[in-house]
Amino acid sequence: MRIGIVGLGLIGGSLGKDWVAAGHQVWGVSRNLLSCQQAGLVGAVHGASTDLESLAAHQVEVVVICTPIEAIVPTLRQLAGCLSPQVLVTDVGSVKAEIVAAAESIWPRFVGGHPMGGTEASGIGAAQAGLFDQRPYVLTPLPNGDPEWVGCLGNLARELGADPVVCDPLTHDQAVAWISHLPVMISASLIRSCGVAAEEEVLTLAQRLASSGFRDTSRVGGGNPELGTAMAQFNKSALLNALATYQQQLQDLIGLIQQEDWGALHQLLTLAQQQRPSFVSMPGPPMAPIHNSPAPADHSRPLA
Ligand code: NAP
């Protein structure tokens, strides 16, 4: 298949590496010529340019928009002026409702996407093969979209080792507010609290002693600030709702500790220990499937 990737950064570059390795023809577009050159050098594309129209020249069948969230709809508008109408377009934005609603009137052959993997780094230098292996890959089709488009993108997701999950954009945004956007805000607040609260001597020792626990809990808060800001901007109400619930949880914890109610605190921590495996798969027997994978479709033939 001939695939175009717009925005050669962490996600665009990582997708490109796996699809090149899977035997697809991958053509990239990015604003910065250096990103284009580096993407070629690291094997994320067969060729790349700063010109969106180059994708039409390469007769791509699928275009994946991998720019920052705020640039996705403007990029789709630009693409609409130069792609043939048979091209299937998707994106990788971490928020879906606003993008999918706008896409409907710009490019009817659109399916929203969100591969659920990443690192705290950004840019093409951070791209890595296998980033989405065994991760969910969300697909949010338009109400009147052809199921074959979801089938095609589901197959491309499976070639990354990912597990396609089909859902509606609003439910996606509410779910990721809890498990992705809230953790970013909590983790950033944790880092800030440690940074501002302690005396100089204590802070210096804390920084020296910080080990695996702090590394795990601070990872997402120490990531790309542009992405964190866009998550809040484009998923404001769901994130505020999650933050309010979290604030209440913190308040309850503070109350239990002030009252020295160690029994209740132990019970709360036990509940948290029991709930964690339902979010994060743990070693042991496989959990019941909770996803709705699209049926495999033949993408060896053109979509037109
Ligand atoms: P990134 O590493 O910063 O890559 C984005 C690339 O897009 C940049 O390298 C940049 O390349 C290009 N770009 C920047 N502004 C642009 C603009 N206005 N128009 C066109 N291209 C532009 O960011 P990322 O982490 O890959 O995130 C990209 C998308 O993936 C976002 O929509 C994000 O929500 C989504 N996502 C991220 C993660 C994650 O954990 N990071 C996970 C899943 C999905 P140039 O230097 O060439 O301009």
How confident is the model over 23-50, as pLDDT tens digits?
999 999 999 999 999 999 999 999 999 9
| DSSP secondary structure code for residue 180 in this structure | I
Tell me which residue of 53, 56, 60 sits closest to 16, measured CA to CA: 60
**Position 284 pLDDT exceeds 80:** no
**Position 304 pLDDT exceeds 70:** no
Q: What percent of the chain has pLDDT over 70?
A: 92
pLDDT band at 301 (very low <50, low <70, confident <90, very high): very low
pLDDT band at 197 (very low <50, low <70, confident <90, very high): confident
Rounded mean pLDDT of 65-84? Answer: 98
List the structure tokens of 193. 């609290």
pLDDT for res 41: 98
- Among 8, 10, 233, residue to substitute to test ligand 1 (most atoms within 8 Å of Cβ): 10
Rounded mean pLDDT of 283-296? Answer: 44
Task: Tell me the C-alpha distance between 203 and 201, whole Å.
Answer: 5
Check: CB of residue 113 under 8 Å from CB of residue 28: no
Place of tokens 């089909």: 166
Closest residue by Cα to atom 1, ligand 1, is: 9
Ligand 1 centroid to Cα of residue 39, in Å, is 13
**Position 169 pLDDT exceeds 90:** yes
Tell me which residue of 113, 99, 131, 100 sits closest to 10, measured CA to CA: 131
- What is the number of alpha carbons within 13 Å of residue 96 lying toward its C-beta? 27
Which residue ranges have their beta carbon within 6 Å of ligand 1? 7-12, 30-32, 35, 66-69, 71, 75, 92-94, 114-115, 118, 122-124, 224, 227
Ligand 1 centroid to Cα of residue 261, in Å, is 47
Coil, strand, or helix at residue 137? Answer: strand
**Position 289 pLDDT exceeds 80:** no
pLDDT for res 283: 56
Tell me which residue of 120, 5, 110 sits closest to 55, measured CA to CA: 5
Coil, strand, or helix at residue 133? Answer: coil
**Ligand 1 atom closest to Cα of 72?**
32
The mean pLDDT value of the chain amounts to 93
**Ligand 1 atom closest to Cα of 12?**
26
**Position 83 pLDDT exceeds 50:** yes
Rounded mean pLDDT of 60-70? Answer: 98
**Position 302 pLDDT exceeds 60:** no
- Among 15, 31, 99, 135, residue to substitute to test ligand 1 (most atoms within 8 Å of Cβ): 31
pLDDT for res 4: 98
pLDDT for res 282: 63
Closest residue by Cα to atom 16, ligand 1, is: 67
Task: Tell me the C-alpha distance between 265 and 124, whole Å.
Answer: 45
